[in-house]
């Protein structure tokens, strides 16, 4: 597998595991290492680095050249590659910096020969090399103690006066000097604002466009919305396909990226990593955004959800209610959010979503389902789910930790308390998968019945059903097994063992 080219993560095995385990990697991730499924493409590491830089500023420690922090003024630094023609990176940095006169453009050369070539190139607007003139080792040590070395060259970095990397550019990934100019301008605005200055540098408002740019471009000016988005499942949508090796499946990609089969949209991961995942422009259509008077209305936003959140591929259909989970719920707190919080916050949001859906009813127990679903009951009774409580050792039968997965609805309204108090709610019952059933049982019409139960019949099993199963089967969540020996949950064969289709 191609280990990160960009980020050589040294020592600290534990810290390295935190770094590589992205939000979509639950379930399919082998316990102590890289994902069991597809290798992680280098483009993902570049993207992750770029996103981390934007997210963690200004809390990132100072950028170092050969162990020495650089800084003092706003700078655009061209990090040159050994033996490569420096002209393109130098021109990029000079152009990016030229937009704001407070900013200087420098370069860092890896060796004397490249240094000589950079001097000879005589690119206008470059202020020379950062001292020390030749720097081989670039990087920083993150607050979590992870040493991050910037090994991929060339790169163009925007560095703040206190030495923090604010934005990073690599060929093939948002390599656009306009982004540098935008970032500088919006940073200078923030600084002026913090000083309480009356005359702020004017904001640049881009023009509506026919094509897609990706979230990194938006982040130059909308940092808090970017951070907020990073903490939602949308930002990991393609990663979730990579884990199960479906990221090149035409039947899957469309809803997991931005601008699929549209002008300037995503077509493949190598060329378009910045456009992978469900991004800003999935909801903020480029032609409508920044159009001044023609602001996007709530109804227009709601209409953008429907093509992706279809009944087959989504557990919910009330987009208005779903909106508050994804339309910048954490914007106000964005300043305090760090990149390392991402996995946890995305997981929390998904759990919250699921719990909210379940919270709309109460558990009644599997016996209540039998009268109307007689054919299903015996099939379920023949599976291990129907003896999950009995499998527990005596101590486990009162341990809330065990009860969460070995009974039905423990800790929720009407859910398992004890065998006597809540009969039929021991074991992994019907409602463990189909959701609490009170409203469904009491429903007056077929339509109401359908709306009050999680129905998986027509649903994509790898998309929606997976979540239900993994809520208990994810190896790392289970205290009852020696996780080191655990194999990842394989949905298709496991599904065959518990299937109870009657139609
Ligand atoms: C029509 C749009 C669409 C298509 C096509 C699509 N998905 Fe999804 N997918 C979604 C949506 C929407 C969600 C979010 C689930 C929800 O809303 O409950 C999702 C979620 C997922 C998840 C995350 C599940 C979780 O529990 O976190 C996986 C994995 C996934 N899809 C895999 C696939 C695979 C594999 C395919 C191809 C067979 C596919 N998707 C095709 C729209 C789609
Ligand atoms: C799931 C859809 C969705 C995604 C993805 C999304 N947004 Fe939004 N965004 C919304 C909605 C809906 C609103 C309006 C409601 C609000 O202000 O909270 C909004 C509001 C905004 C606003 C403020 C508009 C105003 O009038 O105050 C900005 C700026 C913005 N988004 C930028 C972004 C950026 C940048 C990204 C990507 C990093 C992004 N959004 C991703 C749905 C989305
Ligand atoms: C160069 C800076 C800059 C960049 C880059 C930028 N914006 Fe904006 N954006 C602004 C400014 C300034 C405003 C406020 C203008 C206003 O109030 O109409 C704004 C307003 C918005 C709004 C609210 C008003 C509207 O038109 O809906 C949304 C949504 C938005 N931007 C989304 C995005 C998205 C998505 C991207 C990336 C594709 C992006 N922006 C890139 C500067 C930028
Ligand atoms: C381009 C397709 C697309 C669009 C447009 C889109 N989504 Fe999504 N959405 C997804 C996918 C795919 C996921 C699953 C991401 C994952 O977990 O891998 C998802 C996940 C979610 C989730 C988390 C669901 C959960 O249970 O984990 C919510 C909430 C959500 N979307 C709401 C919305 C809303 C509201 C809109 C409209 C404003 C919207 N989405 C627009 C594709 C889309
Ligand atoms: C009073 C009768 C009744 C009881 C009790 C009942 N159901 Fe149903 N259930 C129905 C009917 C009727 C339908 C709709 C069947 C159809 O699709 O035509 C249905 C549909 C379903 C579906 C969705 C199938 C589909 O076609 O969408 C699921 C899943 C389900 N029930 C599970 C349960 C569970 C779990 C319980 C126990 C908590 C339960 N039911 C109790 C009558 C009942
Ligand atoms: C509420 C938690 C929970 C949910 C949800 C759940 N399971 Fe299970 N599952 C268990 C427990 C606990 C056992 C072990 C029962 C025992 O042996 O006592 C189990 C056992 C199994 C087994 C038998 C063990 C084996 O390796 O053969 C299969 C197959 C299985 N589950 C598949 C699924 C599938 C597929 C889904 C999703 C459709 C699912 N489960 C959802 C908790 C759950
Ligand atoms: C996160 C969900 C989860 C929690 C929490 C959990 N289990 Fe389990 N347990 C499972 C699943 C899923 C299986 C079956 C899957 C498998 O065998 O791989 C299982 C299987 C078992 C088995 C083996 C059953 C058999 O006959 O093969 C025993 C015993 C067990 N669990 C005991 C416990 C005890 C004791 C606790 C509390 C300390 C506990 N479990 C907590 C999900 C969980
Ligand atoms: C481990 C999770 C799980 C449990 C437990 C479970 N189901 Fe299901 N159920 C599913 C899935 C997944 C489907 C979709 C069927 C498929 O894809 O084969 C389904 C389908 C159904 C259907 C519609 C399909 C049909 O052919 O009628 C009904 C009704 C149903 N289940 C009722 C029940 C009842 C009643 C129980 C308890 C006796 C139960 N389920 C227990 C996961 C579960």
pLDDT digits (tens, 9 = 90+) for 293-328: 778 899 999 999 999 999 899 888 889 989 989 999
Nearest to 129 by CA among 164, 81, 80, 91: 80
What is the model's pLDDT at position 92?
94
Atom of ligand 4 nearest to the CA of 320: 35
Q: Residues 63, 130: contact at Cβ < 8 Å?
A: no
Average pLDDT over residues 378-395: 95
325 close to ligand 4 (CB < 6 Angstrom): yes
Work out the pLDDT band at 115, boundaries 50, 70, 90: confident
Q: Ligand 5 centroid to 421 CA: how many Å? A: 25
Which of 406, 472, 482, 487, when mutated, tests ligand 7's pocket best, judged by the most ligand atoms within 8 Å of its CB? Answer: 406
> What is the C-alpha separation between 501 and 486, in angstroms, rounded?
29
Q: Ligand 7 centroid to 469 CA: how many Å? A: 13
Bigger pLDDT: 128 vs 315: 315
Ligand 1 neighbours by CB, cut-off 6 Å: 240-241, 244, 246, 249, 251-252, 254-256, 308-310, 313-316, 350, 460, 462-464, 466-467
Say what the alpha-carbon torsion angle 473, 476, 480, 486 is, to the nearest 10 degrees. 80
Residue 147: pLDDT over 80? no
Instruction: Determine how many CB atoms are found less than 10 A away from the CB of residue 157.
Output: 24
> What is the C-alpha separation between 215 and 452, in angstroms, rounded?
36
Residue 31: pLDDT over 60? no
Ligand 8 neighbours by CB, cut-off 6 Å: 366, 369, 373, 376-377, 380, 385, 428, 430, 432-434, 456-457, 465, 498-503
Q: Residues 163, 106: contact at Cβ < 8 Å?
A: no
Residue located via tokens 């707190």: 333
What is the model's pLDDT at position 367?
94
Q: Residues 410, 400: contact at Cβ < 8 Å?
A: yes
Ligand 2 neighbours by CB, cut-off 6 Å: 215, 218, 222, 225-226, 229, 234, 279-280, 282-284, 301, 323, 326-328
> What is the C-alpha separation between 296 and 283, in angstroms, rounded?
10
> What is the C-alpha separation between 264 and 287, in angstroms, rounded?
12
* Dihedral over Cα of 143, 147, 152, 157: its sign: positive
Return the ∠ at Cα 285 (arms to 233 and 245), rounded to 5°: 40
319 close to ligand 4 (CB < 6 Angstrom): yes
> What is the C-alpha separation between 498 and 465, in angstroms, rounded?
12
Residue located via tokens 């060329």: 271
Q: Ligand 3 centroid to 275 CA: how many Å? A: 18
Work out the pLDDT band at 17, boundaries 50, 70, 90: very low
Ligand nearest to the CA of 303: 4
367 close to ligand 5 (CB < 6 Angstrom): no
Q: Residues 107, 77: contact at Cβ < 8 Å?
A: yes
Q: Ligand 5 centroid to 449 CA: how many Å? A: 6
Residue 78: pLDDT over 80? yes
44: which 2 tokens? 């993902």
Which of 491, 498, 499, 501, when mutated, tests ligand 6's pocket best, judged by the most ligand atoms within 8 Å of its CB? Answer: 498
Which of 210, 288, 289, when mutated, tests ligand 3's pocket best, judged by the most ligand atoms within 8 Å of its CB? Answer: 289
Atom of ligand 8 nearest to the CA of 428: 5
Centroid of chain to Cα 44: 11
Say what the alpha-carbon torsion angle 53, 58, 60, 66 is, to the nearest 10 degrees. 90
Residue 373: pLDDT over 90? yes
Residue 38: pLDDT over 70? no
């Amino acid at each position: 597998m191609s280990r990160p080219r960009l980020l050589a993560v040294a020592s600290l095995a534990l810290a390295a595991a935190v770094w590589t385990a992205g939000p979509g990697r639950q379930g399919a991730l082998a316990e102590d290492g890289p994902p069991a499924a597809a290798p992680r493409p280098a483009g993902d590491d570049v993207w992750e680095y770029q996103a981390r830089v934007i997210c963690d500023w200004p809390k990132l420690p100072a950028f170092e050249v050969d162990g020495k922090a650089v800084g003092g003024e706003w700078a655009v630094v061209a990090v040159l590659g050994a033996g490569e023609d420096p002209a393109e990176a130098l021109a990029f940095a000079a152009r990016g910096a030229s937009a704001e006169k407070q900013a200087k453009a420098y370069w860092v050369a890896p060796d004397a020969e490249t240094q000589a070539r950079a001097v000879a190139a005589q690119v206008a607007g470059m202020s020379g090399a950062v001292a020390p003139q030749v720097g081989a080792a670039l990087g920083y040590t993150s607050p979590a103690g992870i040493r991050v070395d910037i090994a991929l060259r060339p790169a163009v970095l925007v560095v703040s006066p206190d030495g923090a990397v604010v934005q990073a550019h690599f060929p093939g990934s948002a390599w656009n000097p306009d982004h540098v100019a935008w970032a500088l301008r919006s940073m200078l605005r923030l600084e002026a604002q913090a000083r309480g200055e009356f005359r702020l540098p004017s904001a640049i408002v881009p023009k509506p466009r026919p094509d897609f740019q990706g979230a990194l471009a938006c982040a130059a000016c909308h940092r808090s919305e970017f951070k907020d988005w990073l903490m939602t499942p949308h930002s990991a949508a393609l990663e979730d396909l990579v884990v199960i090796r479906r990221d090149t499946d035409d039947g899957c990609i469309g809803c997991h990226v931005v601008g699929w089969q549209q002008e300037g949209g995503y077509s493949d991961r190598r060329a378009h990593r910045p456009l992978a995942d469900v991004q800003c422009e999935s909801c903020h259509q480029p032609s409508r955004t920044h159009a001044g008077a023609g602001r996007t209305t709530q109804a227009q936003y709601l209409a953008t959800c429907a093509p992706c959140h279809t009944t087959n591929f989504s557990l919910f259909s009330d987009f208005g209610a779903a909106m508050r989970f994804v339309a910048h719920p954490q914007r106000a707190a964005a300043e305090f959010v760090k990149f390392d919080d991402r996995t946890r916050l995305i997981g929390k949001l998904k759990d919250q979503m699921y719990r909210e859906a379940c919270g709309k009813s109460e558990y009644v127990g599997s016996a209540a389902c039998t009268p109307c679903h007689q054919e299903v009951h015996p099939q379920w009774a023949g599976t291990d789910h129907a003896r999950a409580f009995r499998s527990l050792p005596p101590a486990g039968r009162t341990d809330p930790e065990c009860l969460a997965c070995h009974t039905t609805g423990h800790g929720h309204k009407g859910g398992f308390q004890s065998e006597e108090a809540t009969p039929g709610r021991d074991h992994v019952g019907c409602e463990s998968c189909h959701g609490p059933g009170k409203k469904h049982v009491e429903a007056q019409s077929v339509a109401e019945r359908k709306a009050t139960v999680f129905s998986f019949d027509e649903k994509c099993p790898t998309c929606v059903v997976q979540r239900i199963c993994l809520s208990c089967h994810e190896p790392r969540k289970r205290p009852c097994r020696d996780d080191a020996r655990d194999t990842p949950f394989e949905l298709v064969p496991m599904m065959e063992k518990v299937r109870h289709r009657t139609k």
